[in-house]
A and B are shown apart, each in its own frame.
Chain A
């Protein structure tokens, strides 16, 4: 008989109108790394929430060490030794590493903290599993990779034996990813059992022993990783054969559209500039990509460029015109289109209908309003036209409240709006974030089409595959500065990673 530490048997979880988990079985062996693979909306999060006691399944049982258990809330899960490293770390920035690790399980004597023993335990664990941390450093001062190690130590400190990693590599550089893979293997070798949630096939191939695949809430299968291939996994995940590369002809750049000169933007968090002395240009018919690890000034840079935030100094020139101090409306109506990083925060008014969102950048134009009154018929026509052209699907057409649409269709609506609007420059920030493979393919094709139609495109992306596949030129941003310009055809992922982590830089810092 197999030695399963956790078994989730025939789990069914329904939400009104949708079956999120339909008879799913997941069995985790002791000491294995088990990957959970699936697209967005496949039901991975629901399944993990069930394991964590956040949802109660309609059907199915959960067993721990062969014995049936009831998990009604996260405390039950913790008591059973199940721990989770969240995608977005749950750390207190101004606390030290040690304080964060003991938080919630503070060792004490009559209410007084006894940190000495805690520190010893943490250091022992750190050594045993090769998790290098400085227990006295503040979280805000350490790298993302180290923060993740703190999260892992938090679970080990609580003597958890089942560790769930929720898309742990999204925020890491290639080097940090390698490091994490090593740590995971160490943990498994020491007898910990790991559930690894991801949609990155390379990582599964490298580290996992077995892999369970979900698709649209259904259980597709569990395979031994060393007996399968990347292609087979992706076909199981998506249900059809997927193209990994983007079809595109070589770029044919024309005149300069955007020119950024010595742009500096103040940071809201610390006294250093969030963006420092950034200069580059984007020409007609090319896709320039700003690559970098999350939090290296890309967001601030885009906010400054588009006018969402103030800039400290520098110049922004669009089509030969200095637009540095123009307001957002002016930029929007003078050639700048912007697919924002956060579609819920900026891109859409979720409680507005699709038609109202489609005209969000144009409602004031004579075509859509007269003497301050909206022309709702025109808005509807326009929305229907865009929805057809860009394949935006919704339950009730133009009247659909956008909140009820799927993430992919929401994103397509934004893409449609920004691409149809009169523009010379398209700023696309994380345009495929959180989308499934099909929608990603579609949006990439549209972006290439825009480029070929003579549009200048500034892509900001954290996804390395996207950076390598889509762009014609790569600028790497590290700590608010452009540290290198690379040609995607002649560079490697490893080299890109060195730039992204700050290990390598080309340009000398200007005084």
Chain B
């Protein structure tokens, strides 16, 4: 009975392989797109994206600096992915993460810039704001049986316009640049404390947000796998009726899950905007971060640690677009490639299914999960497409 499962049959290994396959396929299709756009320079362009910041490999300081930037920009998408997979384990599709992230921006930027709060309290404000947004969705879901996806989408827009109104005030918005004031200039205590900045070529955006994201991922892993709370959440996620039958308090768990998920989304916003790398601009659509988090969560095989790897990868490819020669290519090709990879994420479960084809028990692959993953991938792809259509909501600093 203590027989060891063969390496290739372990679910974790299979998920990792499937995700890897999606990534490779995505890059290949991306290459085909490059070929169609400009056959002469396709290989060169592909190489630029993949080589990425390693083009500075002869200059360690620059190399580490840009590596640091990739890390910094991965943090919010990783945290959003954590928020989403946490809720997903409980059977809730928290598409509202995008809105929770947005009100997180509202809270941390406003408290840091207008109220001159210290970074700790500003970060806390972001967490609380996200949690409150999650709570609103949780309450209507638990007590009025409103689908959390519908509630989430509505709350996303409410959050966006609320943020536009509050952050559009002259106390926070620099009207000449039409973006929020730099936190470092108006309130130096508002930025997060640095983290290994020396090691990363003096990258001033390297902050404690990075270790924090890792800690959150580990905490989520522990909560899901080792605690009675995690046991209840997963039971509810797999089979709500059985959880009810076993006397679990479904309503409390729904609310609590969305509050925690919202808090992590809020933290994602705080751990990005409080580095000072990003400023808020009045936006006409909900920031894509929350949606990209859905994709990263699935690419990471719905595992908290897997999400870290997936988040780094997605951000690596996205930033790789900036290394493309703009004479030949539109830098958004990288976004397109990420969208394709994200779309292929929907097939992770399908590929796992193929791995297991000769195993009878897998005949019962959760069809639900497949469609959910598909929906998630579609949503994320949509947001990525939107991103290419409308100007990005945040004014990213030139690298």
Interface positions of A (Cβ within 8 A of B):
15-18, 306, 308, 327-333, 338, 340, 345-352, 356, 360-361, 363-364, 369, 372-374, 376, 395-397, 401, 403-404
Contact B239 A350 (CB under 8 A): yes
Query: Binary interface profile of B, 220-244, with partner A (CB < 8 Å = 1, else 0)?
Result: 0000001111010011001101111
Q: A17-B359, A17-B360, A403-B364 are contacts. A329–B238 as well, Cβ < 8 Å?
A: no
Name the contact of A361 in the complex, choosing from B1, B229, B241, B246 (C-beta under 8 A): B246
6 closest A-B pairs (Cβ-Cβ)? A329-B247, A17-B360, A404-B361, A346-B245, A328-B247, A16-B360
Of residues 349 through 372 on chain B, the ones whose CB sits less than 8 Å from some CB of chain A are 357-361, 363-364, 366
- Given that A349-B235, A349-B238 are contacting pairs, would A328 and B228 also be in contact in the complex, using a CB cutoff of 8 Å? no
Contact A352 B238 (CB under 8 A): yes
Given A328-B247, A403-B364: A363 in contact with B228 (beta carbons within 8 A):
yes
In the complex, 12 of the A-B residue pairs with CB atoms within 8 angstroms, ordered by the A residue number, are A328-B244, A332-B246, A332-B247, A338-B245, A346-B244, A347-B245, A349-B239, A369-B228, A373-B227, A395-B361, A397-B1, A404-B364
Contact B359 A16 (CB under 8 A): yes
Chain B residues near A332 (CB, 8 Å)? 246-247
- Chain B: interface secondary structure? helix
**CB within 8 A of B363: which of A15, A350, A351?**
A15
**A352 proximity list for chain B (CB < 8 A):** 234-235, 238
Q: Which chain B positions have C-beta within 8 A of A331?
A: 247
Q: How far is the CA of A492 from the CA of B86 in the complex (A)?
A: 57
A-B contact count (CB 8 A): 88
Measured between beta carbons, the chain B residues less than 8 angstroms from A306 are 245
Once the chains bind, are A349 and B242 in contact (CB under 8 Å)?
yes
Q: Which parts of B229-285 form the interface with A (CB within 8 Å)?
A: 229, 231, 234-235, 238-239, 241-249
Contact of B227 with A16 in the complex, beta carbons under 8 Å = no
Report B162 CB to chain A, min CB distance, Å: 35
Chain B residues with CB below 8 A from A376, complex form: 226
Given contacts A345-B242, A396-B1, contact A401 B228 (CB under 8 A): no
Assess whether A348 is in contact with B360, with CB atoms less than 8 Å apart: no
Distance between Cα atoms of A15 and B362 in the complex (Å) = 11
The CA-CA distance from A328 to B242 in the complex, in Å, is: 12
B231 touches A327 (CB 8 A): no
**B382–chain A nearest beta-carbon distance, Å:** 29
Bound together, the chains give a CA A338 to CA B248 distance in angstroms of 15
Q: Are A372 and B229 in contact (CB under 8 A)?
A: yes
Contact of B245 with A308 in the complex, beta carbons under 8 Å: yes
The answer to whether B245 touches A340 (Cβ under 8 A) is yes
Q: Knowing A16-B358, A349-B235 touch, does A364 contact B228 (C-beta < 8 A)? A: yes
Which residue, B234, B238, B249, has most C-beta atoms of chain A within 10 A? Answer: B238
Taking the closest CB of chain B, its distance from the CB of A495, in whole angstroms, is 35
> Which residue of chain B is the closest to A348 with respect to CB atoms?
B242
Among B227, B246, B249, which residue has the most Cβ atoms of chain A within 10 A?
B246
What residues of A have a CB within 8 angstroms of the CB of B235 in the complex? 349, 352, 356, 360
A331→B244 CA distance, assembly (Å): 12
User: Which chain B residues border A374 with CB–CB below 8 Å?
Assistant: 226-228, 231
The answer to whether A328 and B238 touch across the interface, beta carbons within 8 angstroms, is no
User: A373 contacts B226, CB within 8 Å?
Assistant: yes
* Chain B nearest Cβ from A342, distance in angstroms: 8
Query: Complex formed: what's the CA distance from A452 to B227 in Å?
Result: 38
- State the Cβ distance, A216 to closest chain B Cβ, in Å: 15
B369 CB, nearest partner CB in chain A, Å: 9
Question: Which chain B residues border A369 with CB–CB below 8 Å?
Answer: 228
Residues of A near B239 (CB, < 8 A) are 345, 348-351
Contact B238 A350 (CB under 8 A): yes
> How near does chain A come to B111, taking the closest CB pair, in angstroms?
32
Interface contact A373-B245, CB-CB below 8 Å: no
A15/B245 contact (C-beta < 8 A), A349-B235, A351-B366 known: no
Query: How many angstroms between the C-alpha atoms of A352 and B249 in the bound complex?
Result: 19
Are A356 and B242 CB-contacts (below 8 A) given A396-B1, A403-B364?
Answer: no
Q: Which residues of B contact A15 (CB under 8 A)?
A: 360, 363
Instruction: List 19 additional A-B contacts (Cβ < 8 Å) besides A356-B231, A356-B235.
Output: A17-B360, A306-B245, A308-B244, A308-B245, A328-B246, A329-B248, A333-B247, A345-B241, A345-B242, A346-B244, A348-B242, A350-B364, A351-B366, A360-B235, A372-B228, A373-B228, A376-B226, A396-B1, A404-B364
Closest to B3 in A: A396
- Whether the pair B246, A360 counts as a contact (CB closer than 8 A) is yes
**Complex alpha-carbon distance, A18 and B361, angstroms:** 11
Q: Provided the pairs A350-B238, A351-B238, A374-B227 are in contact, do residues A328 and B360 lie with their beta carbons within 8 angstroms?
A: no
Q: Which residues of B contact A395 (CB under 8 A)?
A: 361
Q: How far, in angstroms, from A496 to B361 measured CA to CA in the complex? A: 42
Could you tell me the distance between the alpha carbons of A376 and B1 in the complex, rounded to whole angstroms? 17
Query: What distance in Å separates the Cβ of B82 from its nearest Cβ neighbour in chain A?
Result: 20
Distance A333 CA – B248 CA, assembled complex (angstroms): 12
Identity of the chain A residue whose Cβ is nearest the Cβ of B242 in the assembled complex? A349
Q: Are the CB atoms of B247 and A361 closer together than 8 Å?
A: yes
Contacts of A356 in B (CB 8 A): 231, 235
Return chain A residues, CB-CB under 8 Å to B244: 308, 328, 346
The interface residues of chain A lying within 8 Å CB-to-CB of B247 are 327-333, 361
A331 to B247 alpha-carbon distance, docked (Å) = 9
User: What residue in chain A is nearest B236 (Cβ atoms)?
Assistant: A349
Q: Is the CB of B246 within 8 A of A16?
A: no
Chain B residues whose CB sits within 8 angstroms of the CB of A361 once the complex forms: 246-247
Task: Give bound CA distance, A17 to B245, whole Å.
Answer: 33
